[in-house]
């Protein structure tokens, strides 16, 4: 049995990843605030969880992780996919609660899940992998999306730290920058005012130029290249490499 844990599983890339993993005969646990319209599947389990509520996160998800470990899978993969661009705005004009929510979902929750993953899945007989879904925003400043940029830079450091601390040949931590995907996040970004999101024209150009890639296309590449195939420990993979 091979099990994947996917956050942000109800829509966008997360939902597409669930579909692709199931097609490759993986059991999948999807974590999100709301359930998708996915048809019932014996190999899919949905866990409702708000990743912004970080104080409750470990207690909420520990039973699920323990149950997976008890089933003695041959491989387990955590895909930290969930993200939010809530909190769009220039620094100095963002509410403190929005800052907390953005950093919680985009950085603190993935770190806590990685910590829980390493604690629960310590068995050296299991192939273990953590895939952190990042963005070019990790090293490219986007005015008005500072919180997202900050969190993605931190997420890539999480990957490198995991790689430094866990040297087993049966453990891999990697980052993927999946490119420009046609999701609700892109739609939201295009709808913002230039005052709130000074870089809004960039997102509008992604749409008008036809640069957006469907989520299922990206998911297919990620699963084949980064979940199933061998990967290099600590490496950041870009969409063009998939």
pLDDT tens digits, one per residue of 153-185: 999 999 999 999 999 999 999 999 999 999 999
Q: What CA–CA distance (Å, rounded) separates 130 from 108?
A: 15
Residue 99 confidence (pLDDT): 97
Domain residue extents for the chain? 2-179+215-241
pLDDT tens digits for range 5-60:
999 999 999 999 999 999 999 999 999 998 877 767 889 999 999 999 999 999 99
Q: What CA–CA distance (Å, rounded) separates 222 from 161?
A: 22
SS3 21: helix
Give the CA diameter of the chain. Answer: 53
- How large is the C-alpha radius of gyration of the chain? 17
Q: What CA–CA distance (Å, rounded) separates 194 from 212?
A: 21
Is 2-179+215-241 a CATH 1.10.3720.10 domain?
Answer: no
Contact 83, 154 (CB under 8 A): no
Residue 41 confidence (pLDDT): 84
The token pair that represents 196 in the structure block? 């709130």
Q: What CA–CA distance (Å, rounded) separates 115 from 31?
A: 16
The token pair that represents 208 in the structure block? 């008008």
Whether residue 193 has pLDDT greater than 80: yes
Contact 206, 7 (CB under 8 A): no
Residue 169 confidence (pLDDT): 94
Residue 86 confidence (pLDDT): 85
Contact 58, 70 (CB under 8 A): no
Q: Give burial (CB, 10 Å; 0-12/13-18/19+) of 231.
A: middle
The percent of residues in the chain predicted with pLDDT above 90, rounded, is 95
Give the DSSP letter of residue 231: -
CA dihedral for 180, 197, 81, 130, sign (positive or negative): positive
């Amino acid at each position: 049995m091979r099990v994947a844990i996917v956050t942000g599983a109800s829509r966008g890339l997360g939902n597409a990843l669930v579909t692709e993993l199931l097609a490759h005969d993986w059991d999948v646990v999807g974590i999100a605030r709301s359930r998708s319209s996915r048809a019932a599947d014996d190999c899919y389990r949905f866990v409702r969880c708000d990743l912004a509520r970080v104080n409750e996160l470990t207690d909420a998800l520990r039973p699920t992780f323990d149950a997976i470990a008890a089933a003695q899978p041959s491989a387990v993969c955590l895909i930290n996919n969930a993200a939010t661009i809530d909190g769009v705005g220039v620094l100095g004009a963002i509410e403190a609660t929005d800052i907390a929510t953005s950093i919680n979902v985009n950085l603190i929750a993935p770190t806590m899940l990685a910590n829980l993953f390493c604690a629960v899945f310590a068995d050296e007989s299991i192939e273990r992998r953590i895939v952190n879904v990042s963005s070019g925003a990790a090293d490219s400043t986007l005015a008005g999306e500072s919180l997202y940029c900050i969190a993605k830079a931190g997420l890539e450091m999480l990957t490198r730290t995991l790689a430094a601390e866990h040297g087993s040949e049966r453990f891999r931590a990697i980052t993927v920058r999946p490119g420009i995907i046609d999701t609700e996040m892109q739609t939201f970004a295009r709808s913002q005012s230039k005052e709130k999101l000074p870089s809004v024209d960039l997102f509008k150009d992604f749409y008008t130029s036809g640069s957006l890639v469907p989520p299922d296309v990206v998911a297919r590449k990620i699963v084949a290249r980064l979940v199933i195939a061998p990967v290099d420990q600590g490496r950041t993979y870009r969409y063009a490499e998939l």
